[in-house]
Amino acid sequence: MGLITLNRPKAMNALNDDLSQEVIGVLKAFDGDASIGAIVLTGSEKAFAAGADIREMHEKSFVDMFNENYFSAWDVISTIRKPIIAAVNGFALGGGCELAMLCDFIIAGSNAKFGQPEIKLGILPGIGGSQRLTRLVGRSLAMDLILTGRLIDAQEAKACGLVARVVPPEELLSVALDAADKIASYSYPAVLLAKEAVNRAEEVSLSEGVRHERRLFQAAFATSGQKEGMAAFLEKREAVFSGR
């Protein structure tokens, strides 16, 4: 299990270029490390991340943004094959909320606040927020949050499907690490296949998605994990998965 903690306390973990490159580099390294089965991405108790760094962005022109393809580097997260859990305490705003949504699921501390307040800065979400938030919570609430810039608390985020679980802030990291440990204890190929199947739901029609799932399900029968998992159930013992 791999843990990444965003740590720019003086700027509420605002995402600047250096931090972005560092986090992306570690995520790629974790993805290629056979000893890691799942990843947790977290921030501090005050802030997961308060967005892209406004100080870094404020003087940039369209051509600067276009030529740099600003923040497109985060797109690589959707190519990471291992599950990534976002453990969010405090503010997850703008790019911070988008980063949490790029992860596979979000566990929130009850003090968490989510929002896409870019409209207040004269801009709009730029790391997929308008697309992922809409898919996660529906058009009406996405429009509300993106057009008014209002923040929602952890309970509302749970009620609308943005986050999977809400826990006391002081328990957040241990709950997220336990979830990652549990995932990492399962058959590695089964975990990758399951993540791929769920992600497909956002890209294709229902019948194509079900067809794809069926093939992945059948492929699981080529793994030692399926043999071990089913044998262990029948023998009334804990399964021990080898990662093959």
Q: Which residues bind ligand HXC (CB under 6 A)?
A: 11-12, 14, 50-55, 70-71, 91, 93-95, 117-118, 121, 125-127
- Cβ proximity to ligand HXC: between 121 and 177 the closer is 121
Cα separation, 117 vs 146, in Å, equals: 7
What SS3 state is found at 73? Answer: helix
Is 98 a residue of the active site?
yes
**Neighbour tally for 169: CB within 10 Å:** 17
Min dist CB 36 to ligand HXC, Å, is 28
Is 95 a residue of the active site?
yes
Is 51 a residue of the active site?
no
Cα separation, 73 vs 229, in Å, equals: 38
Report the residue count for the chain. 244
CA distances for 224 relative to 79, 180, 218, 219, 236, angstroms:
25, 21, 13, 11, 18
- Cβ proximity to ligand HXC: between 100 and 141 the closer is 100
- Residue 85 forms beta bridges with which residues? 40, 105
- Cβ proximity to ligand HXC: between 12 and 100 the closer is 12
- Cβ proximity to ligand HXC: between 48 and 241 the closer is 48
Phi, psi of 162 (to 5 degrees): -70, -40
Residue pointed to by tokens 């993106």? 146
Min dist CB 93 to ligand HXC, Å, is 4
- Cβ proximity to ligand HXC: between 117 and 225 the closer is 117
Min dist CB 63 to ligand HXC, Å, is 15
Cα separation, 42 vs 221, in Å, equals: 35
Cα separation, 198 vs 209, in Å, equals: 9
**Residue 172 CB-density burial (10 A; 0-12 exposed, 13-18 middle, 19+ buried):** buried
Min dist CB 143 to ligand HXC, Å, is 18
Active-site annotation holder among 37, 92, 94, 98: 98
Min dist CB 148 to ligand HXC, Å, is 13
Active-site annotation holder among 109, 118, 128, 142: 118
Is 68 a residue of the active site?
no
Task: Provide the annotated active-site residues.
Answer: 52, 95, 98, 118
